[in-house]
Every structure is written in C-alpha cells, then in structure tokens.
C-alpha cells in the first residue's frame, strides 16, 4: 500500500503526518539510515505483507510525533514525547483513512513502541510484576512486531533490537508455549 501511494504520488495527500518526517533529523549514531522519513520507510519494509493491519499501521505511524517533538539540545537530536504526541494524532488519521475501528489499537502501539527502553533487564532476566502484566496485554504480540520493525530500520549503535528479541523470547517461553 505504501509503495503504491508513493508511486501514484498520493502519499502526501493520504498521510501528510508521515511525509512531514522528511528532513526530521535523528541521532546519527543510532539512526545512520537518515531522517525519520527514511527510517519509517525502512520499518515498513520489515513488515510482512500479510501482517495484522494494526502492525502495519503501528509501524507506519510509530514516529509521526517526531515532526513536532524533535529538537537539537546542543549535543544531539532528541524527540522527547514523540510517542505520546504521535498516539494523539492516530485517531484523526485512521478516521480520515476510513479505518476508525483500528484507531484505539494503533494509538496504543504507537504510544508504547519505546517501552523496552525503560526495561532494565539484567543477566538474571527477572521481570517485575508490572512488566509481566504488560506482557499480558492483548496487543503485546503486535507491539513486539512493531518494535522489531522499528529496530530493523535503525542502522547504528542502538541495542533495541537485541532487547526486543530478548523480551520476545521471554514472552514466547512464558506466554505462548503450549498454546495453539
């Protein structure tokens, strides 16, 4: 869908929030791939064509808040609060696209796509009660896929891919084994 919109020249018309990411700088050491728009397109390439639509939209919209929240603090580019700002924009976007039934779920995915940065998992890999509760959220499997797409699109020194894979392993072992 995204490639079709790009080819047809409709992308800016349908998703100006995503095209607003062109030229939005990111810390080069973690995002050597370029600006937030390039990063978003790379994240979309990491999403399977037959994936749950919520994952598709979550990956496409995960960084839309960066267009309004990115600033240079004197030493590096920062986007503090971009997940929350992006999540607030999701309902209007999904309504405009004729997909209001996905808005709540996609907003949740966008809001929480950075969850793993606050999880300080040590060598013993013991999850807190709140972390375990978070793993039980019905959208958590979709969130993992959005986060993995985000990590696949981050070319640099970030360790988010390894953290997400570790959390995915824990989730698979503790919440999925034995279930069909």
pLDDT tier at 86 (50, 70, 90 boundaries)?
Answer: very high
On whether the CB atoms of residues 93 and 81 are closer than 8 A, the answer is: no
Tokens representing 151 are 């990590």
Residues 94 and 112: their CA atoms lie apart, in Å, by 18
Which CATH architecture describes the domain 2-176?
Orthogonal Bundle (1.10)
pLDDT band with cut points at 50, 70 and 90 for residue 180:
very low
Residue ranges covered by each domain of the chain: 2-176
Nearest in space to 138 (alpha carbons), one of 47, 54, 56, 46: 54
For residue range 9-55, what is the model confidence (pLDDT) as tens digits? Answer: 777 888 999 999 999 988 888 877 879 999 999 999 999 999 999 99
Please tell me the predicted confidence (pLDDT) of residue 118: 87
Phi, psi angles (nearest 5°) of residue 104 = -65, -45
102-119 tens-digit pLDDT: 999 999 999 999 998 888
> Cβ-count burial of 162 within 10 angstroms (0-12 exposed, 13-18 middle, 19+ buried)?
exposed
């Amino acid at each position: 869908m995204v490639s079709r919109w790009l080819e047809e020249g409709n992308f800016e018309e349908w998703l100006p929030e995503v095209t607003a990411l062109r030229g939005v700088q990111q810390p080069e050491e973690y995002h050597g791939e370029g600006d937030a728009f390039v990063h978003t397109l790379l994240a979309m390439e990491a999403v399977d064509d037959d994936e749950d639509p919520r994952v598709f939209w979550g990956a496409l919209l995960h960084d839309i808040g960066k267009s309004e929240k990115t600033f240079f603090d004197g030493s590096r580019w920062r986007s503090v609060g971009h997940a929350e700002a992006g999540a607030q924009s999701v309902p209007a976007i999904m309504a405009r696209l004729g997909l209001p039934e996905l808005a709540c779920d996609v907003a949740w995915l966008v809001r929480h796509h950075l969850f793993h940065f606050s999880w300080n998992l040590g060598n013993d890999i013991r999850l807190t009660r709140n972390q375990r509760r978070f793993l039980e959220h019905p959208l958590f499997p979709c969130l993992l896929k959005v986060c993995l797409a985000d990590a696949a699109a981050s070319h640099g020194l970030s360790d988010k891919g390894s953290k997400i894979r570790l959390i995915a392993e824990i989730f698979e072992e503790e919440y999925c084994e034995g279930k069909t």
